[in-house]
Amino acid sequence: MASLLSKPDATSDYSATAAGYFTNGVYQVYKYYYQNMTGYRVGTAPSTDLKLEAYATVGNDGYARVLVGVRIEEGTWQLQLNDLSALGLRTSGALNLHTWGFPVKNADVHYGEVDAPTDLG
């Protein structure tokens, strides 16, 4: 839990008594999970390279919610959703998605400030 907050210069000119704490990406992901990942948990598996992981729930409203994260690395990963017909969705065709991002405000992707998620459409 100690990595939920950070402060300016956390890796260099660090002062344990200085103020100015801010939330980072880990905090925002936990907050999103708590507020939005409602319903019951369904099975997920990591990517074969173990750099992508997912957590999925199905709500009483019939929506599947999938929280996906990758380690600090660029790349392309695939996400496969199975048994969507159990939610009343078609077995083939297009699927409407709504995505959110957790952008870091500066170049420090590990300790950098991250505010509320950004609606990516």
Of 41 and 89, more confident = 41
Mean pLDDT of the chain: 83
Any bridge partners for residue 101, and if so which?
118
Q: Is the pLDDT of residue 2 over 80?
A: no
Question: Is residue 25 a contact partner of residue 114, using CB atoms and an 8 Å limit?
Answer: yes
For 56-111, what is each residue's pLDDT tens digit?
A: 999 888 888 999 988 777 888 888 888 888 888 888 888 888 888 888 877 767 77
Residues 82, 86, 92, 96: is their CA dihedral positive or negative? negative
CB atoms within 10 A of CB 114: 21
Output the pLDDT for position 57.
92
E strands, 48-114, where?
52-58, 64-70, 100-101
pLDDT-derived band at 9 (thresholds 50, 70, 90) equals low
Between 54 and 107, whose confidence is greater?
54
The predicted pLDDT at position 34 comes to 92
Q: What is the pTM of this model?
A: 0.75
- 6 forms beta bridges with 22
* CA within 13 Å, CB half, 73: 10
The secondary element (H helix, E strand) that includes residue 34 is helix 25-36
Residue 21: the pLDDT is 81
Task: Indicate the range of 1-15, 41-55, 61-75, 106-120 predicted with least confidence.
Answer: 1-15
Beta 64-70 vs 22-23: how paired, if at all? unpaired
